[in-house]
Chain A
């Protein structure tokens, strides 16, 4: 009742095989309906919906940055240095979020900075995800020695002090956006490999797949048909969560001076620039930091929703939780509850 479109409902599970063509037809027409149902479900999870809206806004902002931004983010103006945001005493409407120590408009820098976060995030997730999923699939499909070798390799890499190695690489090759992307991808592909392998193995253990393999059927075909749907939602959720992590990591590297280099703009870089003016201009550090935090929070909220929604067990738990909370609030004379506590 809380979730109108409920895929875990027992009635929904029993897709009758008799009229398969009909189902396919239904599928075609319902792609739009499905998206609509998903959106309406998202609407019911308010934090998740807010996160979704913020992310959409951020993506739009990143795409249309040059059109939206009031100034060139690199344009300096020594006369307009360190102007506070508009709500402060000396603030002006010309620079809504104020200016930095070189007189650059902070709002424009924030808008342009979102591009870096998005590009790095998407690139790293695509690279690390692509490589990791491929490794996981290979390990899961072939099993045996190949599996053992790959997983041992993954174990070893995971045990590396990753961030320090990243620093070494950055120090040697020199920081740039490409290096940041490569370094973060090298650091993050192992999670995907592990998860993919786990899913492949669990699908292979399903009775019908096992049976098909035993009969010598085209197991790749069978496995693939069952793996893909099983893989989609956990990997998507993982990807979204990794995206959040990478936005933070990029900001941290840029803050350390090992990421994006000026004249390009990055939120982390702006925080680093502002930290010398901590005593005189709080907004230099605070505003770009807020941009990072809001972005990551939005992604996390969406990922949280995705995780709960794609996992029936998690949904059941969540429902039980809300019932428990309701019951406790009522805390009527019911003895069973008191006994429980």
Chain B
């Protein structure tokens, strides 16, 4: 972690809808270093995808970045000066893969066409060079029969192959940072594991930085160095992956952990978090999680900031300490009866 690649500083993103202004991202700060893998975890609607799209410069009307800053190697990507830089690095130094490769790939172009287009535009390669490089990339991401796949349309490929194709496309210009927005959600479990393995392998081989966006803590476990947990457009906890899994401090993180099935089969009782995510239309008073929090107290109605605490950051007045399972269970078991 010598150099910060991407820094997001107090980012605010709003969406204007008919029902009012949705404050999707509310003061999020993040950073990713060279070769680091950051997990960004939260339920759908927690603002994790919007945050990453803001970094890529993909927030469009009706969305709008209303505050904060995004920096690439120290230089702002926002504002009139940042815009050309954002354009220059997009797809070249910073790349992104999406959840559903089927809709994310253009259905009317072959996979080969969609990769070579990147190479020809950014790297000014000629057709033959681009073709050769695309073949290389297909081999790199483990696509079987790569030569044939180049001439196939997305609808002719399996889900796993399509996602590998997406990854190959993102890696075409050897980016330094790869943002993966739920890359495995749409896939079968066995394929999921393969794709995660591939990402892990690529990360090591290419010294890639990855932001892994997911709602599934299981995905994060093996892959990420650090994890940031988002809730209601804010980061509620950020720590190293080990810390998160062994000593979650925020009640929401703990809830997430408890609602994740464990592979080792121990403690197979899953508990869901009661209640529903906050309405992002509302201006928020106090802790966003308070209404669903098992250990809510009167003070929770006052605003809470992300605070440094030992080796982590937590946005909670009453964070847990100690190993998670027993402590949390005691405090949450009554939820089920409510």
Contacts and interface: CB of A to CB of B under 8 A. Distances in A.
Given a CB threshold of 8 Å, the question of whether A touches B is answered with yes
B18 A316 contact: yes
Contacts of A335: 65, 78-80, 82-83
A340 B58 CA distance: 7
Interface stretch (A100-108, A175-183, A205-213, A320-328): A320-328
A2 interface: yes
A323 B16 CA distance: 7
A339 B57 contact: yes
A148 interface: no
Interface string B59-71: 1111111100000
Interface in A305-340: 315-316, 319-320, 323-324, 327, 333-340
A338 B86 CA distance: 11
A38 to B, nearest CB: 18
- Which of the four size classes fits the interface of chain A? 20 to 34
A90 interface: no
B76 to A, nearest CB: 9
Interface in B64-100: 64-66, 78-80, 82-83, 86-87
B64 A337 contact: yes
Q: Majority SS of interface residues in chain A? A: helix
B54 to A, nearest CB: 8
Contacts of A333: 79-80
A9 B64 contact: no
B19 interface: yes
Contact of A327 (B57, B61, B80): B61
Contacts of A315: 18
B17 A324 contact: no
Given A2-B18, A315-B18, A334-B66, A320 B61 contact: yes
Nearest to A334: B64
Contact of B60 (A3, A316, A336): A336
Contacts of B82: 335
Interface string B187-207: 000000000000000000000
A340 B64 CA distance: 10
A3 B18 CA distance: 9
A327 B19 contact: no
A333 B18 CA distance: 24
A44 to B, nearest CB: 13
B53 to A, nearest CB: 10
Contact of A320 (B62, B65, B80): B62
Interface of A: 1-3, 6, 9, 315-316, 319-320, 323-324, 327, 333-340
